[in-house]
Amino acid sequence: MAEIKDNIEELEKNEAQPSEDQEQSGKRKIYNALVNEEDDSDKKDVEHLKDVLKALSINGLWFKKQLGVLALILFGIIIYISNRYQAQSEMIEEDKLHEELQDWKYRSMTRNSELTLRCRQSQLEEQLKAMGDSTLSSSNDPVYELTND
């Protein structure tokens, strides 16, 4: 009796654990199901795209009718891009010239102030004294104002 119980228990264990052949065939079934499912999804995507195109009524005839409009839009885009490039180049050039003008303006102001400093009466008198010319001298008499009465 004990042997029969042991045999029954072994059979139950064997039924609970599938054999290697059964495991491999199960894996093949799962793999085939996955592969077939992927194929179905690709087919579904193509069919879905066809349905969308049919709903939108987009076909070769539509493109032929709208070719002029599409060409006009493309031409407009090209003109827009080239015009923007040219405008941007001009703006860069304008900024460069503005900076150069500012630089020349500051240089001019510096030269003007140096010239004014060198042409002052006191500076000229000092230069004449340094060179030894004593014939010129500044006046000690006050300046007279002439008025028209």
Structural domain boundaries in the chain: 10-58, 63-123
The first and second tokens of residue 42, run together, are 């690709």
Q: How confident is the model at residue 13 (pLDDT cuts 50, 70, 90)?
A: low
Burial class (CB in 10 A: 0-12, 13-18, 19+), 85: exposed
Residues 40-87 have pLDDT tens digits of 555 667 777 777 766 666 666 777 788 899 999 999 999 999 999 999
On whether the pTM is more than 0.85, the answer is no
- Residue 144 is given by DSSP the state P
CB atoms within 10 A of CB 125: 14
Q: What residue spans of the chain are helical by DSSP H?
A: 2-16, 20-56, 60-65, 67-118, 121-131
